[in-house]
Amino acid sequence: MKPNPLVREPIIPCDPPVCRAHRAMGDPGPLDGDLTKPFWQRGEWLTGFRDIEGDSRPRPWKETRVKVLWNDEALYIGAQLTDDQIWATVTERDDVIFADNDFEIFLAPQDSSHRYYEIEMNALNTVWDLYMECPQRDRTRRIISWDVRGLESAVKIAGELNNPAADNRFWSVEIKLPWFSFRECPVGHCKPDRLAPVPGEIWRMDFSRVEWDVDVIDGKYVKRKGPDGRPLPEHNWLWAPTGVIDAHMPEMWGYLVFTKEGEDYPLPAEDRMKFALRKLYYREHAHSCKTGSFTDDAALLLGEEADRYRIRAYVTPSLFEGVAEWRGEEWHIDQDGYLWRGDER
């Protein structure tokens, strides 16, 4: 395996925020993007979006807030994006939505860093839903033919789309994600054990807002260009910053905790150990980029954390595997960042 410079260690600590999603009461009715109806009055708003790299970068100057509810049928997500420049151009399903300002959802039902889902929407209610076998840093191929079966979505605009002269204030989205498309079958089985989560179940989740700098030219929004004549890079504002310019870092995402009424459940106690294994993954690739090979010296890469979790590294000319001990069990990570417990792989 060649050294992989796409694997980068976050420049911020791993400190994921927590969403304690309330169980929904009633039905939202036909989705219309209106988040003031009674269905959305339960639960807490998720706020505090930051730049993707964390607090070393400027804070977002436009507010984003999100609410998450669930029932036996689906996961419901509502988001309100304050904006005085509401525009969108992409109209085809599964096209590259982040070429516009957009709202993005990332969901990982299991915490291996692999096999997760992304849904993007713009102000035209154009959707891109895709399945990721592993993060893009691990040279994956996006599976854009995957769709959320039964997905419903809607957008409400407080203002007027693509009209800089309008009194634009915000756009809001409602999205319904039925469980079927997010459940895996157990090994050797042809059906999932169940579809809906149970109170206390924990997924990993993140939200991202892409915001482009634009100017108004001849009454139209035009992406602002830099000295090279190309559009300036977009801003990426996340609920759970990843510490690198890459939202596809499931280990840095927040926790989605399914609850009845917001009650507290303990977060996974093993996650500090798991992040130590992920540091080994980052640093093995950095070491390989520098020297041309992986190393079996875990202490060289991790210092005292290698002793704390009894981490060992095993290498071949092209592969490595890290192994840690936690409460009598072994946990593993490989050169592709896949993390598993015991023989669960």
Cβ–Cβ contacts within 10 Å for residue 43, how many? Answer: 21
Q: Range(s) for CATH 2.60.40.1190 in the chain?
A: 18-258
Question: Which of these, 150, 103, 168, 110, lies nearest to 134 by C-alpha position?
Answer: 110
The pLDDT, as a whole number, for residue 32 is: 98
Domain with CATH 3.30.1300 in the chain: 271-341
The reported pLDDT for the residue numbered 142 is 86
Predicted local distance difference test score (pLDDT) of residue 1: 65
Closest Cα to residue 194, out of 183, 181, 205?
183
Query: DSSP per residue over 124-159, as a string?
Result: T--EEEEEESS-GGGT---BTT---TT-EEEEEEES
Instruction: Give yes or no for residue 54 having a pLDDT over 90.
Output: yes
CA distances from 27 to 37, 69, 74, 94, 331 (A): 10, 11, 11, 28, 42
Give the model's confidence band at 184: pLDDT under 50 very low, under 70 low, under 90 confident, else very high.
Answer: confident
pLDDT score, position 186: 76
CATH architecture of the domain formed by 271-341: 2-Layer Sandwich (3.30)
**CATH architecture assignment, domain 18-258:** Sandwich (2.60)
pLDDT tens-digit map of 134-171: 999 998 888 889 999 999 999 999 999 999 999 999 99
Overall pTM surpassing 0.85 (yes/no): yes
Which residues, listed in sequence order, are joined to residue 330 by a DSSP beta bridge? 325
What is the secondary structure of 200-237 as a DSSP string?
T-EEEEEEEEEE--EEEETTEEEE-B-TTSSBPPPEEE
